[in-house]
Amino acid sequence: MTPQLVVPAYFHPSVHPGEWEWLAQHPDRVRLVILNISNGPGLRPEPPFQAVTERLHDTGVTVIGYVDTSYGQRFPEQVADELRRYVDWYKVGGVCLDRAASSAPWVGYYASLATTAREMGALVVFLNHGSHPVEGYAEHADLLGTFEGPWQSYRRLDVPRWTKAWPAEKFYHVVHSVPPGETGETLKLAVRRGAGAVYITERAGPNPYDRLPDEDWK
């Protein structure tokens, strides 16, 4: 099975219009596009982002809105308000709840956020932990981000046994700072580790998601 792409599209359409067009032209390969205007939806709708998200909707690519949960420290009302703005302004089909906590005491908090998001019309709830959480989170999300980090760390990743009880489509791995020529092997490693969704890039730095990778995915 070839993993699908979940793309953190943290680049402005006015700066990189070709990147957004690539996403629109590959609906068969792109499972989700994560829309992040300004660590959230921003204070007002931005026409350039409205135009590209409408284009993605038209081609069948699902767009979800980025909301920072600060590891459970934000009030649920704040999270819901940001999702509401994404829905109203960009017609998103779901939510990426980033910086999600991973330990058992916070499962209830995220279960409640997931319920609220679905009541608001979210078809996709993605919890981005960045590492493997306890299994309880899997019951409340369509997708779990269980690795986000550099290639060197990914090579040493240990995958908990509980993940084998869930389909690969439940898990997402993000690997950045990949050396030239290693994308294919990294993709194979993701498959062996049970990830049905990936994002692999040679880009590094504070924001390795500021544009699409130079090396295309196969």
Q: What is the pLDDT of residues 192-201, one digit of tens each?
A: 999 999 999 9
Could you tell me the two tokens for 81?
A: 């308000």
Helix (H, G, I), strand (E, B) or coil at 70: helix
Q: What pLDDT score does 214 carry?
A: 83
Query: Residue written as tokens 């544009």?
Result: 211
Distance CA 154, CA 157 (A): 5
Q: Please state the pTM of the whole predicted model.
A: 0.96
Q: Tell me which H or E stretch contains 58.
A: helix 47-59
Distance CA 179, CA 25 (A): 27
Query: Residue written as tokens 């078809």?
Result: 123
The tens place of each residue's pLDDT in the chain, 218 residues long, gives: 789 999 999 999 999 999 999 999 999 999 999 999 999 999 999 999 999 999 999 999 999 999 999 999 999 999 999 999 999 999 999 999 999 999 999 999 999 999 999 999 999 999 999 999 999 999 999 999 999 999 999 999 999 999 999 999 999 999 999 999 999 999 999 999 999 999 999 999 999 999 999 866 54
Could you tell me the two tokens for 158?
A: 């240990």
Q: Give the percent of the chain with pLDDT over 70.
A: 98
Q: What pLDDT score does 169 carry?
A: 98
Q: What pLDDT score does 2 carry?
A: 86
